Amino acid sequence: MKSRRKQEGDTAKEFLEQLAADRGTILTDEEYESMRSSQLQTLARPPRVEWAVAGPGLLCILLGVGLLVAALLTWITAAEDTTMNRLMIGLLLVGLGSYFFFGNLHACRAAFRRPFTERISEIDDLLRSGLITAQEHESIRKAIEHESTFRVQNAET
């Protein structure tokens, strides 16, 4: 049985509970600490654009558009097979690239727009349930407050 990866709809509490349940059985202590640390960092600072996902998506979009332009420019002069291949591959690359690039962008924006009170209540709940320590709670809370202050200052300018 494999450890369940974090799903889009999972809350931080569900994920940390599952990690704790998998510790020692499926996950080594080192794997547990690494995944837990990553989740706590995500709580402190919302995810940014993952360029490891968005970059290849953008590259696919650009290649796809290039193939579409090439197909349209050679519509009359090239063989029908060549033109149709360029069109189909171009459309496929643009669609696939858009899924990765814009999906990543949308997910990051949605996480970034979570209200301050919702984020604070989430870490308060984690502290009450014993999934994070008081020290971790305090450091995450300070990071959230700092980021919220930074957002307010940027909004005013």
Verify that 60 and 101 share a domain, yes or no. yes
What's the pTM? 0.58
Q: Is residue 31 part of a domain?
A: no
Verify that 98 and 58 share a domain, yes or no. yes
Q: Is residue 78 part of a domain?
A: yes
Helix (H, G, I), strand (E, B) or coil at 4: coil
Residue whose C-alpha is closest to residue 16's, from 30, 33, 1, 29: 33
Dist CA 33 CA 74 (whole Å): 56
Cα–Cα distances in Å, from 55 out to 37, 73, 92, 114, 116? 25, 27, 17, 25, 30
Domain that holds residue 103: 51-109
The separation between the first and the last C-alpha atoms of the chain, rounded to the nearest angstrom, is 52
pLDDT 10s per residue in the chain (157 long)? 444 444 444 688 898 999 989 988 898 989 999 999 988 888 888 767 778 888 999 999 999 999 999 999 998 888 888 899 999 999 999 999 999 999 988 887 877 777 888 889 999 999 999 999 999 999 999 988 887 776 666 666 6
Alpha-carbon Rg for the chain in angstroms: 22
Work out how many domains the chain is built from and give that number.
2
